[in-house]
Amino acid sequence: MTTVSNKTLKSALQDIINSKPNSLQAAVASEALDHEDIKCFFSDLLQHGCISGMIGSLIYYTDTHTFFDAHYDAIEELRQEYQDNIGEPLEIKENLKNFLAWFAFEETAYQMALELGLEV
């Protein structure tokens, strides 16, 4: 990972929460701030995904469905952007809301890691 300090990351994440309180970015930022080592959080999430269980708020279907419903428009926008970039639709082999909640959380975390200057 890069030399961005944990203190700098915490400040940037708090700014995201304050400026976009109900966004996907705020959800990722809030989860990241619950971890001591923020660089490790992003690295682990991007390596192992939500399926690993590391995102406590997105383990159960009731939670992922609530997350999906709360962020539906942003998730659909992210999905469309992703599909446009790869040139084919996402292949969803499981519960739609669960899959897309995890996809959105992970994709948002990836984009945020890039913006924060973290190596991914």
Residue 119 pLDDT class (50, 70, 90 cuts): confident
Residues 30, 18 contacting (CB under 8 angstroms):
no
Model confidence, pTM = 0.93
Write the pLDDT tens digit of every residue in 57-70. Answer: 999 999 999 999 99
Residues 67, 27 contacting (CB under 8 angstroms):
yes
User: Which sequence spans correspond to the domains of the chain?
Assistant: 6-115
Distance CA 74, CA 101 (A): 11
Residues 6+ apart with CB under 8 A from 109: 28, 32, 42, 45, 46
Distance CA 109, CA 29 (A): 8
pLDDT of residue 1: 42
